[in-house]
Amino acid sequence: MKAESEQKTLFPFDRSRLTRFAWLSIAAALITIALKTIAYLLTGSVGLLSDAIESVVNLAGAAMALGMLTIAALPPDDNHSYGHSKAEYFSSVVEGILIIVAAGSIGYAAINRLIYPRPLEQLGFGLIVSVFASLINFGASRILMKAGKQYNSITLEADAQHLMTDVWTSAGVLVGVGVVALTKWLPLDAIMGLVVAANIIWTGVKLIRRSISGLMDVALPESEMQAVEVVLQKYRQKGVEFHAIRTRQAASRRFVSIHVLVPGAWTVHDAHHVAENIEHDIHTALGEAVVITHVEPVEDELSMDDIELDR
């Protein structure tokens, strides 16, 4: 079909290649786990321990992302005629849950340190090691975010946001440890650990909410709906009307369904070509999208009886 051939021309990118970014995230997580664990063992800081625990969550999330990106890249089959792109949402949900579990562990360790404070040691070298680990996370996060936006992958964006949260968390911990070194007020290290835990929980909740929205077939965002409206307005000027416009998003793929009301005097040939052009223009405006049109005569009153989803 015409729409299928144009989609291949517009989107030749093989999405299975996105797994290389997941491998990058796994490598970054392994390196930062090692570095932050060393920093904790050198200093005894519960803040740095919380940082190391979050990096373990990063590793689990990256492994999940690798698996889901592999599944999402599979072509449509008899049991999944719309493809496997929704698999990316499962990665975000699991990562969000892991983040919240890690936050609980961090909070427990911080409360225990508040009750039983302990002096910090070898802060200078420990902080240097932690800063180096944060720079690795920052670099990986920027690469993943750029790829996520370029290839419209919620999995890569979620992984990038998680890594960036890790960077800001590390910055907060480093400030806390530095202040402890200057003031000798030991409870501040544990308090910073609790702040880190709260921040991580919020990140996990946002990831889960976003993924659930996708699994519930949330409509396209306002900016993309406006892009669709621009296309439709061009055809309204030619005497074409529209109704029953429905949209949803399944990770990288968008779906648009619309009824096209044309003058009854048009031939089937003319109406079909207009519908094909509308599909093409919406597809071009949105990117990776499946556009389905249903042509109806605008003068026929029956055309107004099938607007609802359950007609």
- The token pair at 180 is 């402890």
CA separation for the pair 163, 274 (Å, rounded): 46
Q: What is the pLDDT of residue 7?
A: 38
User: What are residue 278's phi and psi, to 5 degrees?
Assistant: -65, -45
pLDDT 10s digits, 117-162: 766 555 566 677 778 888 998 999 999 999 988 887 878 888 887 7
Instruction: Please report whether residue 249 resides in a domain.
Output: yes
Q: Dihedral angle at the C-alpha atoms of 224, 164, 58, 150, nearest 10 degrees? A: 40
Domain that holds residue 260: 222-304
Q: What is the pLDDT of residue 273?
A: 93
| CATH code of 115's domain | 1.20.1510.10
Instruction: Please report whether residue 244 resides in a domain.
Output: yes
Residues 114 and 241 in one domain: no
- 3-state SS of 88-132 is HHHHHHHHHHHHHHHHHHHHHHHHHHHHCCCCCCCHHHHHHHHHH
The C-alpha angle 49, 54, 57, rounded to 5 degrees, equals 135
pLDDT 10s digits, 1-16: 333 333 333 444 567 7
Q: What is the pLDDT of residue 124?
A: 66
CA separation for the pair 242, 113 (Å, rounded): 64
Contact present, 150 and 193 (Cβ < 8 Å): no
> Hey, which residues does 255 pair with through a beta bridge?
248, 290
Chain position carrying tokens 């340190």: 113
pTM (2 decimals)?
0.67
* DSSP 8-state symbol, 83: -
Residue ranges of the chain with per-residue pLDDT less than 50? 1-12
User: What are residue 221's phi and psi, to 5 degrees?
Assistant: -65, 160
CA separation for the pair 241, 55 (Å, rounded): 53
**Domain-terminating residue out of 215, 238, 256:** 215
Residues 281 and 205 in one domain: no
**Domain-terminating residue out of 159, 192, 215:** 215
Q: What is the pLDDT of residue 231?
A: 94
Q: What is the pLDDT of residue 6?
A: 38
Residues 182 and 273 in one domain: no
CA separation for the pair 297, 259 (Å, rounded): 10
Residues 193 and 298 in one domain: no
Burial of 63 (0-12, 13-18, 19+ CB in 10 A): middle
Residues 61 and 206 in one domain: yes
Query: How many other C-beta atoms can be found within 10 angstroms of the C-beta atom of residue 13?
Result: 11
Instruction: Please report whether residue 310 resides in a domain.
Output: no
Residues 206 and 59 in one domain: yes
**Domain-terminating residue out of 215, 238, 268:** 215
Instruction: Please report whether residue 294 resides in a domain.
Output: yes
Considering its fold, how many domains does the chain have in total?
2
CA separation for the pair 307, 305 (Å, rounded): 6
Instruction: Please report whether residue 311 resides in a domain.
Output: no
Residues 255 and 192 in one domain: no
CA separation for the pair 133, 34 (Å, rounded): 9
Residues 173 and 124 in one domain: yes
Residues 173 and 256 in one domain: no
Residues 190 and 149 in one domain: yes
| CATH code of 247's domain | 3.30.70.1350
Residues 97 and 205 in one domain: yes
Residues 115 and 209 in one domain: yes
Cα dihedral 99, 100, 105, 109 sign: positive
Instruction: Please report whether residue 250 resides in a domain.
Output: yes
Q: What is the pLDDT of residue 5?
A: 36
